[in-house]
Amino acid sequence: MRSLSLLLVYLVVTLAEAASYKDGPFKVKESIVAPPRVWVEHAPAPSNHILELRIALPQPFSPLLEKHLLEVSDPSRKRYGDYLSKQETESFLSPHPHTIDSVSEWLASYGIHDDDLHSSAQGWVTVRVPVGLAEEMLGAKYHVYRHSETGEYIVRTTSYSLPEVLHDHVQFIQPTTMFARFRAFSSTLHWTTVPVNDASTSSTITGPAGNQVDASCNQTITPTCLRQLYHAVGYETSATNGNQIGITSYLGLYVNDHDLQQFFEAYVPAACGSNYTTVSINGGQNNQSIAAAGLEADLDSQYAFGLTYPTPRTLYTTAGSPPFDPDLHVPNNTNEPYSYWLEYMLSAENLPQTISTSYGDDEQTVPESYANRVCMGFAALGARGVSLTFSSGDYGVGDGDPNPETQLCFSNDGRNTTMFIPSFPASCPFVTTVGGTIYIPETAASFSGGGFSNYFPRPSYQDRAVSDYLSKLAPGTYEGLYNPDGRAYPDVSAQSDWFMVAYQGQFGYVGGTSASTPTFASIISMVNDARINAGKKGLGFLNPWLYSVGYAGLNDITTGHNPGCGTEGFNASIGWDPGESREAFHHLNKSS
Nearest by Cα to 355 from 495, 256, 244, 475: 244
Q: Sheet holding 423-424: strands in order across?
A: 183-184, 359-362, 423-424
Q: Check the annotation: does 575 bind a ligand.
A: yes
Question: Helix or strand or coil: residue 215?
Answer: helix
d(CA 487, CA 188): 27
> How many other CB atoms sit within 10 Å of the CB of residue 441?
15
513 close to 496: Cβ distance less than 8 angstroms: yes
86 close to 205: Cβ distance less than 8 angstroms: no
Active site residue 514: yes
d(CA 69, CA 542): 11
Please list the alpha-helical segments (H only) found in 368-435: 368-383
d(CA 389, CA 394): 15
Q: Check the annotation: does 112 bind a ligand.
A: no
Q: Check the annotation: does 577 bind a ligand.
A: yes
**CB within 8 Å of 507: residues ≥ 6 apart:** 266, 500, 501
**CB within 8 Å of 9: residues ≥ 6 apart:** none
Q: Check the annotation: does 234 bind a ligand.
A: no
Question: Helix or strand or coil: residue 452?
Answer: strand
Active site residue 296: yes
Question: Helix or strand or coil: residue 96?
Answer: coil
> How many other CB atoms sit within 10 Å of the CB of residue 200?
11
> Which residues, in sequence order, are bridge partners of residue 130?
50
Active site residue 522: no
Determine which one of 187, 249, 493, 514 is catalytic: 514
Determine which one of 66, 298, 300, 362 is catalytic: 300
Determine which one of 66, 296, 298, 580 is catalytic: 296
The residues annotated with a catalytic role in the active site are: 296, 300, 514
- Which residue ranges make up the annotated binding site for Ca(2+)? 556-557, 575, 577
